[in-house]
Amino acid sequence: MRTIRALALAGVLLPLGACVSLVPDAETPAVVADMPTAYDAAEIDGTYRPANWWQAFGDPVLDGLVNDALSENLDIAAAAARVEQASAQARIARSALLPTVSASASTSYSDSPLAGSAFGGLSGGGPSRLTNETYSLSLGAAYELDLFGRVRGDLAAARSDAVAAEFDYRTVQLASAAETISTYFEIVDTRRQIELTVRTAELLADRAERTNDRFLRGLSESFELYQVRQDLRNTQASLPQLEASLSAANGRLATLVGTYPGPMKARLETQLTPRLVFAPVPAGLPAELLVQRPDVAAEWARLESARQRIGARRAERFPSLQLTGSLGTQGDSPLGIFDIADTWLLSLGSSITAPLLDGGRISANIRAARAAYDAQAAAYAKAVLTAYREVDVAIDDYEEQRQRYLLITGQLAEAKASLDVQSSRFQSGVGSYTAYLDALRAVYQVESSLSGAARGVALSRLGIHRALGGDWAATATPDVSNDPQTGDSEGNLQ
């Protein structure tokens, strides 16, 4: 009857407990609520479509490297494992909502003397020892009624942790793809710098030889000769540094795509000619960052996890109801246990446990959960602020890099015009070959600056996409256009 009354009490408490929620209401941090409705530096309106945006560079080598990074990068593999781990933790938390069922089988044998019998003999002509042999099979079940939401709170928190791990995975994807693109353009620029440095060194060697000849004939001073030789040595000395930088970049790129530097170097032994893209990037609305940027979304999921854990810790103050039961059979022989009609056993039980004195553990756990929530709310607000700032700065930087590229393009046009003049003067016999070499060197110097500016344009565009987040790996056709005034005849990176 007691068991029946306990079950009846549980039937009353269960729907009441299901209505109880000890989880605090969700609060939006003031920083998030006050987010501006538009970016200060936004160039154009429109929906942000990030999928496969790097294909706008028109470089199959870059496309292949990014695809390899998304599929082979070891940081992404580790992040994927953490997602699986978090999912498993959520399944573990969910198991507490379900009954546990166990099966058991046991056997026992005892042989003991009867009380008052003589050692090893008989007592009154009867047996002096008692033997007993027992066999049993049983199924046991236990279930805790989650009356006040402790288990449900822990489960919701674990599920939010799994969501955060998934967004962390996407964050690592974006970071790996962005680092691959950045390193690729570093390699393109460094290779161009090496090419121009070699040309400049050859030009300066010719210049030094001619200056030395003029010095020996008394037509120039030693200062001019020393200056040209110093320029030559400085130029030659920069080559090993550039080669080392190129080797380091090749190694980093190899690591990003999960391979070794040797195969990567062989893979890049081709002409690398990515096009420049100058079209503005439609940034969309700032509020879209909350779901568009995976790092921001991950912080929100962690905030939700912290909120649910407050409710779970509060629920520990209240009683918990445990139901148990077992059904089995018992006999004095292996075959006897199957005589179920005569040997079955049934056991039902229930227990209610409520904390009385715990040394302040539950109160401290609640305070700790609340503090963790407050800390995560600050982290979430900071992530939103950082995301907005990064987008605004990236848009500004993209505009400035494009303007810089335009200015250096004009400078290159002037340097080439000066070279044409000096070439014509030399061929006409009214100019010196030295002046022609100096004009050619000036062209190389401007081309070197232009290569760096082109890299700046590419990386600043990457900065916008990285700041905006989004799903880069989805299949889509990017909407891009090139400005013919800011590239060469093929729109290639110079």
Instruction: Between 244 and 111, name the one with better pLDDT.
Output: 244
Distances (CA, A) of 447 to 196, 243, 416, 441, 465: 8, 19, 10, 10, 27
The residue-averaged pLDDT of 205-217 equals 81
Q: 372, 308 in Cβ contact below 8 A?
A: no
Q: Identify the domain containing residue 47 by its residue range.
A: 2-103+134-486
CA distance 140 to 23: 33
* Residue 113 confidence (pLDDT): 79
**Helix, strand, coil percentages in the chain from 3-state DSSP, rounded to 5:** 65, 10, 25
Query: What is the separation, in whole angstroms, between the first and last Cα of the chain?
Result: 90
CA distance 150 to 142: 17
Eight-state DSSP code of residue 200: H
Question: Is 113 part of any domain?
Answer: no
Exposed/middle/buried for residue 109 (C-beta within 10 Å: 0-12, 13-18, 19+): exposed
* Residue 343 confidence (pLDDT): 81
DSSP string, 340-399: HHHHEEEEEEEEEE-----TTHHHHHHHHHHHHHHHHHHHHHHHHHHHHHHHHHHHHHHH
Which of 62, 88, 45, 52 minimizes the C-alpha distance to 270? 62
CA distance 244 to 146: 63
Residues 413, 419, 421: CA angle, nearest 5 degrees: 105
pLDDT-derived band at 220 (thresholds 50, 70, 90) equals: low
Residue type, 10: A
pLDDT-derived band at 333 (thresholds 50, 70, 90) equals: confident
Question: Is 118 part of any domain?
Answer: no
The 10s digit of each residue's pLDDT in 281-316 is 999 999 999 999 999 999 999 999 999 999 999 999
The residue-averaged pLDDT of 426-442 equals 88
The 10s digit of each residue's pLDDT in 344-397 is 889 999 999 999 999 999 999 999 999 999 999 999 999 999 999 999 999 999
Eight-state DSSP code of residue 49: -
The 10s digit of each residue's pLDDT in 102-134 is 999 999 988 887 765 555 445 555 567 788 888
CATH code of residue 35: 1.20.1600.10
Report the percentage of the chain scoring pLDDT > 90: 70
pLDDT-derived band at 494 (thresholds 50, 70, 90) equals: very low
Question: Is 108 part of any domain?
Answer: no
Eight-state DSSP code of residue 259: S
CA distance 157 to 477: 38
* Residue 193 confidence (pLDDT): 97
Q: 311, 23 in Cβ contact below 8 A?
A: yes
| Strand positions, DSSP E, 97-176 | 100-113, 129-145
* Residue 474 confidence (pLDDT): 58
Q: 270, 61 in Cβ contact below 8 A?
A: yes
The order of strands in the sheet holding 129-145 is 100-113, 129-145, 320-331, 344-353
- Secondary structure (3-state) at 110: strand
Question: Is 492 part of any domain?
Answer: no
Return the H-helix or E-strand segment holding 297.
Answer: helix 294-315
Residues 125, 129, 131: CA angle, nearest 5 degrees: 130
pLDDT-derived band at 178 (thresholds 50, 70, 90) equals: very high
Question: Is 119 part of any domain?
Answer: no
The total number of structural domains that make up the chain: 1
Bridge partners (DSSP) of residue 323 are: 143, 350
Residues 6+ apart with CB under 8 A from 397: 460, 463
Q: What is the mean pLDDT of the chain?
A: 87
Helices (H), 428-487: 433-468
Q: Per-residue pLDDT for 218 more than 90?
A: no
Question: Is 308 part of any domain?
Answer: yes
Which of 27, 31, 43 minimizes the C-alpha distance to 388? 31
Diameter of the chain by CA atoms?
147
The 10s digit of each residue's pLDDT in 7-61 is 343 343 344 444 567 999 999 999 999 999 999 877 777 889 899 999 999 999 9
* Residue 213 confidence (pLDDT): 80
Distances (CA, A) of 493 to 68, 243, 269, 443: 23, 20, 17, 17
* Residue 46 confidence (pLDDT): 82
Q: 265, 259 in Cβ contact below 8 A?
A: no
Residue type, 130: L
Token pair in block for residue 388 = 């907005």
Instruction: Between 401 and 130, name the one with better pLDDT.
Output: 401
Question: Is 110 part of any domain?
Answer: no
Q: Per-residue pLDDT for 418 more than 90?
A: yes
Token pair in block for residue 130 = 């008692």
Which of 305, 468, 465 minimizes the C-alpha distance to 386? 468
pTM: 0.84
The residue-averaged pLDDT of 66-74 equals 96
Question: Is 480 part of any domain?
Answer: yes
